[in-house]
Amino acid sequence: MKTLHKLLAAAVCTAAIAAPLQAHRLWMLPSTTIVSGDDDWITFDAAASNDLFFPDHQPLRAEPAVVQPDSTPGKVEHMNIGQYRANFDLHMTQKGTYKIVIQNAGIMGSFKVNGVEQRLPRGTTADKLATAVPAGATDVKLSETISRNEVFVTSGAPTDTVLKPTGQGLELVPVTHPNDLVAGEPATFKLIADGKPAANIAVTVIPGGSRYRTSVNEIALKTDAQGQVAITWPGAGMYWMSASTTAPSTVIPNGEKRMSYTTVLEVLQP
């Protein structure tokens, strides 16, 4: 157990995603994804809900990070957290494509003390695990998690700088730029897991407005051997896309790493 604690204490992770949000679809919805002025703002709603883009459960509480077109950090403004949704604004002071992202990572699991099962406290990270799991604990079952929820928006012409992957977790590497999507035309995306092609994983695409339809109209896809997936958009509007996969953990000996990715994409009329 001491060896496990030493290995885990050396890792650096961000706060674990709150458990209640895992059962609902997470989304950050921009008012638009493309602007063309010289001093533009985009406003966002962000929540976890049963019906896409209809806030009915709880807000997204973490403040998103912003990567500006020149790769420098930006910030959201006017962040407000309400009962069912959060909202914030992005002031677009540079031309090109921005990335707005929330990444969560941590350790989840359970163990027994004197035969009684206990769960890791919410928010346990690898550097806290040595104290979170008591010495002498048995039946230790742990898994590493990393989730990424991001949106791309563009002022003027699209650029590619913010599309470069970090090599951590499940990420989208657009072949088709995410702000250049048109109804009736195919788009290709590549998913990578820790920098490698995420082959043969399920990808779910759902158009917004499901509250007002008799069916969700889910589009079920799967990546190919190179991690690529092609989508022909059935119509204009906002779409939610999500995927997940697992891999051996590099933090927990003989453990599992669960990775997920979510984005919202705007598809325009031709």
d(C-alpha 120, C-alpha 137), whole Å: 12
pLDDT of residue 103: 93
Report yes or no: 148 and 263 within 8 Å, Cβ to Cβ. Answer: no
Q: What does pLDDT average to in each consecutive run of 10 residues of the chain (270 residues)?
A: 38 35 78 95 96 92 96 97 97 97 88 84 74 81 91 97 95 96 97 96 95 91 97 97 92 86 97
pLDDT of residue 12: 33
pLDDT of residue 17: 35
Tokens 């090109």 correspond to: 96
Domain boundaries, the chain: 8-105+144-267
In this structure, are strands 228-232 and 186-193 parallel, antiparallel, or unpaired?
Answer: antiparallel
Tokens 């031309």 correspond to: 95
Report yes or no: 27 and 84 within 8 Å, Cβ to Cβ. Answer: no
Domain 8-105+144-267 class in CATH: mainly beta
pLDDT of residue 255: 81
